[in-house]
Amino acid sequence: MRDVAIIGAGMTKFGRSPGDLMDILAEASLRAIEHANVGKEEFDALYVSNMMAGETAHQTAVASSLADRIALVPAAADRVENGPASGGSALKNAFLAVASGCYDLVLVTGGEKMTTADTDIITDLVATMTHPTAEYIHGVTLPAMGGMLTRLYMERYGLTERHLAMVAVKNHANGLKNPYAHIQRACTIEGAMSSGVIADPLRLYYVCPISDGAASLVLCPLDKAKKYTDKPVRIAGVGQATDVQALQEREDPTVLKSVKIAAQKAFKMAGVTPDDIDVAELHDAFEILEIAESEDIGFFEKGKGHLAVEKGVTALDGELPINPSGGLKARGHPVGATGVAQAVELFWQLRGEAGERQVKEPKRALSCNFGGFGNNTVIHIFERGW
Amino acid sequence: MVEQKFVGYKCRSCGRVMNPKHDRCLSCKGRDFDEVELPKVGKLVTYTKLYALPQGIEMPPLTLGIVDFGVVRVLGQLATDEPRIGMSLRPVWGKIRRLNDKDIYGFRFEPVS
């Protein structure tokens, strides 16, 4: 396998975009291509992550359309769909293609246009990821799953609502420093704890917003990266794992087994341990997930993640900053874009280009893109390639 | 709608009981199963009261929970406004919601008095 590098990144401002899905996919892609300094070179392939264009934009085969729109024809083009982990899967596919020696210059773009549809339609589309007969038909939505997991955590590990509010306050504070974030507004513990109940014990402030947005990366072999940039970011490890679909069928429903296994695989490939990670982007579609993932990745002992939040370990200036971008809570969660946006943030962080939210000299970073309700997770480890 | 039995699927090779049904056993990949009746009473493991309602559910909140029947856990709607972790519940067959203009039937769980 060849070493693989990211040489350029770009994204749109997340939130409510004036353009349609193809507009934002093109905007993010062109920013990444320009940033990668590849000029008019031909790309071998593009991977486009998107979850619901067929349903929300009434458009299918968006990868072929993007190749046409930004003049990448005749590059190979595929749309990649893995629910909210589509972005992580697209990046993984691109990594494998470059690592194998098949392709030299590859574009990865993730995007979703969600704000044009009614909230209940989006909630329903996302809910169709759950088990069709054991979950979905009973009225289960993703917030309902988040609510049930949160209650288990409270019963088992002593997590309180205040801990969820602390994660929200931290991520809102980080989002305020991120010009690409959907939500750029500080929040307080009291404000979060008095917001409306969505899926008890989850309130509005413990749930990510519905956003539009796109993010993009350019990949090439590490040994060719110096031609384009002095600071290539190496993809050191990749891990992906599935779990049984229904939450109630998991041996211990508080353990996110797909996260655990994906992390173990990524650490093994990278030859590092959780202690070697300086900054992480985790999938906090619900604030409980940031805590649960931080434990199952191996940063903190199971059931102790909330104590790390309490001590400020995961704050921007803490020992292990988590979600410097604001996470899904504040940056927003255009489902197909999220996994790519996590990698874009870590690319900027490693290169020291994250502006006001820059973490102090990180050398190695980890992203966790959580699909379904934890039944398909993709984890990447990035490090300085210079 | 004919009332269904509250069942699990027992693997003929290793004996593991599953609900929902899988085409291969999650433990041993066996492909043959027998329908077995599940216990009549289970205990509530976790729940949520959902206020952002899905289509076809009329009155908030929709209370959903996971009930442990020993050999398997099953998720469903709870017919109580005062769920408590550990409370005893039993499955009751009936209409659970409307979906795409059709009535959907299934088991919900009500407290054992």
The answer to whether position B12 is within a domain reads yes
Residues B50 and B32 in one domain: no
Contacts of A137 in chain B (CB under 8 A): 96-97, 99, 104, 106
- Cβ of A139 within 8 Å of Cβ of B77? The answer is yes
The answer to whether position B53 is within a domain reads yes
The answer to whether position A280 is within a domain reads no
CATH number, domain with residue A50? 3.40.47.10
Residues B21 and B70 in one domain: no
What is the pLDDT confidence band of residue B38, given thresholds at 50, 70 and 90?
Answer: very high
The answer to whether position B1 is within a domain reads no
The answer to whether position A43 is within a domain reads yes
A-chain residue closest to B47, CA distance: A148
- Cβ of B20 within 8 Å of Cβ of A138? The answer is no
Nearest CB to B55; choose among A120, A196, A247: A120
* Domain extent at residue B89: 42-111
Contacts of B75 in chain A (CB under 8 A): 134-135, 138, 140, 246-248
**pLDDT (0 to 100) of residue B59:** 84
Q: What is the pLDDT along chain A (386 residues), one digit of tens a residue?
A: 999 999 999 999 999 999 999 999 999 999 999 999 999 999 999 999 999 999 999 999 999 999 999 999 999 999 999 999 999 999 999 999 999 999 999 999 999 999 999 999 999 999 999 999 999 999 999 999 999 999 999 999 999 999 999 999 999 999 999 999 999 999 999 999 999 999 999 999 999 999 999 999 999 999 999 999 999 999 999 999 999 999 999 999 999 999 999 999 999 999 999 999 999 999 999 999 999 999 999 999 999 999 999 999 999 999 999 999 999 999 999 999 999 999 999 999 999 999 999 999 999 999 999 999 999 999 999 999 99
Please say if the pLDDT value at position B57 is more than 90. Answer: no
The answer to whether position B2 is within a domain reads no
B5: three-class secondary structure by DSSP = coil
Residues B23 and B65 in one domain: no
- Give the closest residue to A145 by CA, choosing from A296, A241, A253: A253
- Cβ of B65 within 8 Å of Cβ of A196? The answer is no
B39: three-class secondary structure by DSSP = coil
For residue A168, the distance in angstroms to the closest alpha carbon of chain B comes to 20
- Cβ of B97 within 8 Å of Cβ of A124? The answer is no
- Cβ of A144 within 8 Å of Cβ of B53? The answer is no
For residue A250, the distance in angstroms to the closest alpha carbon of chain B comes to 9
The Cα A74–Cα A78 span in angstroms is 12
A-chain residue closest to B73, CA distance: A248
Question: Per the structure, how many domains does chain A have?
Answer: 1
Contacts of B48 in chain A (CB under 8 A): 144, 147-148, 151, 199-202
Burial class (CB in 10 A: 0-12, 13-18, 19+), A121: middle
Select from A128, A248, A250, A288 the residue whose CB has the most chain B CBs within 10 Å, as the one to mutate to test that interface: A248
Residues B46 and B69 in one domain: yes
The Cα A355–Cα A373 span in angstroms is 33
- Cβ of A139 within 8 Å of Cβ of B48? The answer is no
B-chain residue closest to A254, CA distance: B46
- Cβ of B106 within 8 Å of Cβ of A244? The answer is no
Contacts of B29 in chain A (CB under 8 A): none
- Give the closest residue to B53 by CA, choosing from A139, A202, A362, A230: A139
In single-letter form, the type of residue at position A356 comes to E
Residues B66 and B26 in one domain: no
Q: How many inter-chain contacts (A to B, CB under 8 Å) are there? A: 106
Question: Per the structure, how many domains does chain B have?
Answer: 2
Nearest CB to A148; choose among B18, B47, B96: B47
Burial class (CB in 10 A: 0-12, 13-18, 19+), B65: buried
* Domain extent at residue A95: 4-117+210-225
Q: Which of A258-262, B66-70, B86-90, B101-105 is least confident? A: B101-105
- Cβ of A137 within 8 Å of Cβ of B50? The answer is no
Determine what percent of chain A is predicted with pLDDT higher than 90: 100
**pLDDT (0 to 100) of residue B113:** 79
In single-letter form, the type of residue at position B41 comes to V
Nearest CB to B54; choose among A134, A141, A248: A141
The answer to whether position A37 is within a domain reads yes
Please say if the pLDDT value at position B1 is more than 80. Answer: no
The answer to whether position A52 is within a domain reads yes
- Cβ of B106 within 8 Å of Cβ of A137? The answer is yes
**pLDDT (0 to 100) of residue A196:** 97
For residue B66, the distance in angstroms to the closest alpha carbon of chain A comes to 6
Name the β-bridge partners of A218: A8, A107
Token digits of residue A166: 């602390």
Contacts of B26 in chain A (CB under 8 A): 244, 249
- Cβ of B55 within 8 Å of Cβ of A248? The answer is no
**pLDDT (0 to 100) of residue B56:** 82
**pLDDT (0 to 100) of residue A31:** 98
The answer to whether position A309 is within a domain reads no
Please say if the pLDDT value at position B70 is more than 80. Answer: yes
The answer to whether position A219 is within a domain reads yes
What is the pLDDT confidence band of residue B2, given thresholds at 50, 70 and 90?
Answer: confident
**pLDDT (0 to 100) of residue B55:** 82
In single-letter form, the type of residue at position A183 comes to I
The Cα A55–Cα B84 span in angstroms is 39
The answer to whether position A56 is within a domain reads yes
For residue B31, the distance in angstroms to the closest alpha carbon of chain A comes to 17
The answer to whether position B82 is within a domain reads yes
- Chain A residues near any Cβ of chain B (below 8 Å): 119-120, 123-124, 127, 131, 133-135, 137-141, 143-144, 147-149, 151-152, 155, 196-202, 244, 246-249, 253
Residues B49 and B103 in one domain: yes
Contacts of A147 in chain B (CB under 8 A): 48-50
Nearest CB to B50; choose among A143, A196, A248: A143
The answer to whether position A108 is within a domain reads yes
The answer to whether position B104 is within a domain reads yes
Q: What is the CA radius of gyration of chain B?
A: 15
